[in-house]
Amino acid sequence: MRTAWETFERETIDHLRALVRLDTTNPPGNERIAAHYLGAAFARESIECATIEPLPTRANLVARVAGTDRSRPPLMLSSHTDVVGVEAARWTRDPFGAELAEGCVWGRGSIDMKSKCAMDLGLALAIKRAGLLPARDLIIAAVADEEAGSELGARYLVEHHPDLIRAGFVLNETGGFTLHLGARRFYPIQVAEKGFVTVKMTVSGTPGHGSMPRADTAIAWIADLIGRITRTPMPRRVTPLMRRMLAGLGISPDQAPPLFRPMLANTVTPTIVRAGYKDNVIPGEAWVILDGRTLPGEDERGFLRELRDIVGPEPTLEVIKTAPPVEASPDTPLFDLIKTRTEAADPGARAIPWMLPGATDSKFYAQLGAICYGFAPVRLDPRMPFGALYHGNDERMPVEGFLWGLRLYTGVVLNFLGIRTEDVFA
Ligand SMILES: [Zn+2]
């Protein structure tokens, strides 16, 4: 049975709002409530799905619509169901109310990333309802724990259930939103993301009494090092992808605006600092957590060398966690399809390959050989502070831009699955 397009739009918005109302703040996560919601919806259309719960309440859900040709590598649509916390007092509206107001759905996760989760769900249901078989397997993954490192989510599935999620191609978050640069519009499509190297840097000094001031304390030293780190950029490197991306934007690497600078070097940011335990004691130790990010082509050792150049040989550096950068080629039929359809959906705009300075679950899926793109399209007007709303207060999704994105996303996914849009939607 075909679904009327308007019904599909309404249902997808309803799914988005229902998902936002489920408080899956991580920590503690409690993604089980989202997995239940999705599982029940899939079950109503008899779509096969598995729930993987590495720890009680931390559920991942993976559904599959079998295709006609199982020799072709599957397409996986992925989202994470956990969200970051809120400072509710600073919000204009209830962060878990999913209110529909001022043309937006308001709430934590409305952008990052229950919006794409709702799209993936709605689309799979519509395909199944139409009784159509995709040309390749379609996998829908809704995973836990992305906001806290993916240990119980994508990473767990890759390590313990690779057969459930092994795909040739993955469409995940962070890409396909309107980027306004002057009067021009771009749609960055994520093909690469940086790796991370989280380091604990410790220095020691002689402890003493607070009544006897000295310059050579652990606190003074760590403060000096933090100052040096924040003032000293790591060496600039323009990767081939960035060269291509900047050329697409008509920007020379020397003139890259601040937005692009993290994509042109490894970076390091102090994020947690600790020293002392009593108001009149000079502590013998101080430490800082450094959030290091590595460019594609770089590794942990190279990063630590660059960090040593800044902080010198003395501080102790302990790597706490690390994950490699990842990059997929934009020279694939799927990328071409995304680019062509996106540019057709917003005439005059250009879709360009993009590097995310942060990390997503694509990092883990790529370990199984998948080509991963960030494509969760939304059309935005220039006044929408989209970037600031990720993990920010008053996170909200503009309905009109979301529905524009839904149409574009649907067209791309169905085409790649060898299904005609008019066979699914009336
Ligand atoms: Zn996210």
Domain residue extents for the chain: 5-191+326-424, 196-321
Q: Which amino acid is at 422?
A: E
Task: Quote the pLDDT of residue 389.
Answer: 86
Using the predicted structure, report yes or no on whether residue 54 has a pLDDT greater than 90: yes
Using the predicted structure, report yes or no on whether residue 410 has a pLDDT greater than 90: yes
Q: Is the omega angle on the peptide bond into residue 54 within 30 degrees of 0, that is, cis?
A: no
Using the predicted structure, report yes or no on whether residue 388 has a pLDDT greater than 90: no
Cα-to-centroid distance, 140 and ligand 1 (Å): 16
- As a whole number, mean pLDDT of residues 183-211 equals 96
For 361-417, the DSSP string reads THHHHGGGT-EEEE---B---TT--HHHHTTSTT-EEEHHHHHHHHHHHHHHHHHHT
- In Å, what is the CA distance from 356 to each residue of 80, 314, 375? 17, 33, 12
Q: Which residues contact 27 (CB under 8 A, 6 or more apart)?
A: 148
Q: What confidence tier does 248 reach under pLDDT thresholds 50, 70, 90? A: confident
CA distance 255 to 234: 17
Cα-to-centroid distance, 172 and ligand 1 (Å): 9
Cα-to-centroid distance, 208 and ligand 1 (Å): 46
Burial (0-12, 13-18, 19+ Cβ within 10 Å), 317: middle
Cα-to-centroid distance, 52 and ligand 1 (Å): 20
Using the predicted structure, report yes or no on whether residue 138 has a pLDDT greater than 90: yes
Please write the tens of the pLDDT for every residue from 341-379: 999 999 999 999 999 999 999 999 999 999 999 999 999
The protein residues having their C-beta less than 5 angstroms from ligand 1 (an ion) are 112-113, 173
Nearest to 54 by CA among 29, 85, 25: 29
Task: Quote the pLDDT of residue 11.
Answer: 98
Burial (0-12, 13-18, 19+ Cβ within 10 Å), 418: middle
Q: Would you give the end-to-end CA distance of the chain in angstroms?
A: 9
Cα-to-centroid distance, 19 and ligand 1 (Å): 14
Q: What confidence tier does 390 reach under pLDDT thresholds 50, 70, 90? A: confident
Using the predicted structure, report yes or no on whether residue 419 has a pLDDT greater than 90: yes
CA distance 190 to 192: 6
DSSP reduced 3-state for 93: coil
Task: Quote the pLDDT of residue 258.
Answer: 87
Please write the tens of the pLDDT for every residue from 221-238: 999 999 999 999 999 999
CA distance 251 to 190: 18
Sign of CA dihedral 17, 23, 27, 28: negative
Q: What confidence tier does 253 reach under pLDDT thresholds 50, 70, 90? A: confident
Mean pLDDT of the chain: 96
Task: Answer for the pair 222, 273: CB distance below 8 angstroms, yes or no.
Answer: yes
- As a whole number, mean pLDDT of residues 177-196 equals 94
- As a whole number, mean pLDDT of residues 371-390 equals 91
Q: What confidence tier does 257 reach under pLDDT thresholds 50, 70, 90? A: confident
Q: 51-69 in b/e burial notation, b at 16+ Cβ within 10 A?
A: ebbbeeebbbbbbbbebee
Q: What confidence tier does 193 reach under pLDDT thresholds 50, 70, 90? A: very high
Strand ranges (DSSP E) for 239-315?
267-275, 281-282, 285-294
Cα-to-centroid distance, 367 and ligand 1 (Å): 19
Cα-to-centroid distance, 111 and ligand 1 (Å): 8
Identify the bridge partners of residue 79 per DSSP, sorted by sequence position: 142
CA distance 116 to 79: 6
CATH top-level class of 5-191+326-424? alpha beta
Cα-to-centroid distance, 173 and ligand 1 (Å): 6
Cα-to-centroid distance, 146 and ligand 1 (Å): 7
pTM of the predicted protein model: 0.92
Q: What confidence tier does 187 reach under pLDDT thresholds 50, 70, 90? A: very high
Task: Quote the pLDDT of residue 364.
Answer: 96
Q: Which residue has the tokens 């040593």?
A: 308
- As a whole number, mean pLDDT of residues 108-132 equals 97
Task: Quote the pLDDT of residue 13.
Answer: 98
DSSP reduced 3-state for 236: strand
Cα-to-centroid distance, 82 and ligand 1 (Å): 8
Please write the tens of the pLDDT for every residue from 89-112: 999 999 999 999 999 999 999 999
Cα-to-centroid distance, 147 and ligand 1 (Å): 7
Q: Kindly report the backbone phi and psi dihedral angles of residue 225, in degrees, each rounded to the nearest multiple of 5, phi listed first.
A: -65, -40
Task: Quote the pLDDT of residue 249.
Answer: 85
- As a whole number, mean pLDDT of residues 148-165 equals 97
- As a whole number, mean pLDDT of residues 317-335 equals 96
For 34-92, the DSSP string reads HHHHHHHHHHHTT-EEEEE-SSTT--EEEEEE--S-TTSPPEEEEEE--B----GGG-S
For 118-143, the DSSP string reads HHHHHHHHHHHHTT---SS-EEEEEE
Task: Quote the pLDDT of residue 387.
Answer: 79
Task: Quote the pLDDT of residue 182.
Answer: 87
Q: What is the CATH number of domain 196-321?
A: 3.30.70.360
Task: Quote the pLDDT of residue 209.
Answer: 97
Identify the bridge partners of residue 193 per DSSP, sorted by sequence position: 326, 356
Using N-to-C axis directions, what is the helix angle for 399-416 and 114-129, rounded to 10°? 50
Sign of CA dihedral 214, 215, 216, 218: positive
